[in-house]
A and B are shown apart, each in its own frame.
Chain A
Amino acid sequence: SQTIHQWPATLVQPVGSPLSLECTVEGTSNPNLYWYRQAAGRGLQLLFYSVGIGQISSEVPQNLSASRPQDRQFILSSKKLLLSDSGFYLCAWTNRGSNQPQHFGDGTRLSIL
């Protein structure tokens, strides 16, 4: 069966520090991968998605970047964190095709001090 792993589960970082959140999927190949941010009391905002290795699309201009160095690995990064980067970050995957649901990881709670 397919599984998705995100780490770390929680992270506390000072303003201006770098960031690297990792997401890996097992049990499938060639998935579409997604990064979302969920601010407190709000819905999900799509940040990035990827349809293949090295292919990244950004949905909103921001302080973050994403990379997909391997088929089942998706990384969210920042060179210098801002206070506004605080939130709950969720990774998701889906199989290719037009009627596939997205499956989510357990998320990373990021707090910026």
Chain B
Amino acid sequence: QQQVKQSPQSLIVQKGGISIINCAYENTAFDYFPWYQQFPGKGPALLIAIRPDVSEKKEGRFTISFNKSAKQFSLHIMDSQPGDSATYFCAASRADSWGKLQFGAGTQVVVTP
């Protein structure tokens, strides 16, 4: 069974709008939550990551919000641009797992001009 549940499957947003992707997990041993961005035919690239000791992390137009009690975390893409059109994956792992990640199913984001 999937240990990390991601929604929505796809998202269309206008240029300048906000894209929001949500993820939920069950395993309370997870302590590292990265988001990866993937363009068609390419490997995923790390976008931003958070640990459960903080509730929010911002890097440029990308923000992760983390709710430890609800076991949920989300990615917000502010001022979305056509170049942000990609598939986004949330993931989770444990500190002792050496990068062994459990991935969500992915969200395809399309930003219209």
Query: Do chains A and B interact in one complex?
Result: no
Residue numbers of A with Cβ under 8 A of B are: none
Q: Residues of B with Cβ closer than 8 Å to A?
A: none
